[in-house]
């Protein structure tokens, strides 16, 4: 059963019908005021990235030291997509494989 709730805007008085309000992060009125929750922060500045080269190298080493399986590495690689516009999932997996081979006496 879908729960529905009417929320009145504290600014303009308009009623907004909201389905399953407990599952939403934020509800915003058509006037632009926040009715419930917190908005995500504004777009990050051009100098800020969530995933840098240092993080990339650390994640590769962490995956090796924890003996992650291929499925786990693929999942991690997928989760990291979108953290940096320059992030390349296939590059992450190939770096992981090359580093693993290099440290095991291969290549």
DSSP annotation string for 75-102: HHHHHHTTS-TT--HHHHHHHHHHHHHH
List the beta strands (DSSP E) in the chain: 4-8, 15-19, 26-28, 34-37
Whether the per-residue pLDDT at 15 is higher than 70: the answer is yes
pLDDT reported for residue 22: 61
pLDDT digits (tens, 9 = 90+) for 74-89: 888 888 887 777 888 8
pLDDT reported for residue 48: 56
pLDDT digits (tens, 9 = 90+) for 24-54: 566 677 777 776 655 444 454 555 566 778 8
3-state class of 4 per DSSP? strand
- Provide the whole-model pTM: 0.49
């Amino acid at each position: 059963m879908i729960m529905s709730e009417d929320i009145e805007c504290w600014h303009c008085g308009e009623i907004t019908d909201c389905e399953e309000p407990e599952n939403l992060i934020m509800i915003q009125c058509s006037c632009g005021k926040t009715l419930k929750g917190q908005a995500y922060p504004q777009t990050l500045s051009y100098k800020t990235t969530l995933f840098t080269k240092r993080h990339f190298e650390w994640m590769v080493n962490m995956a090796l030291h924890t003996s992650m399986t291929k499925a786990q590495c693929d999942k991690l690689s997928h989760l990291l997509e979108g953290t940096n516009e320059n992030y390349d999932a296939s590059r992450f997996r190939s770096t992981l494989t090359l580093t693993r081979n290099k440290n095991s006496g291969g290549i």
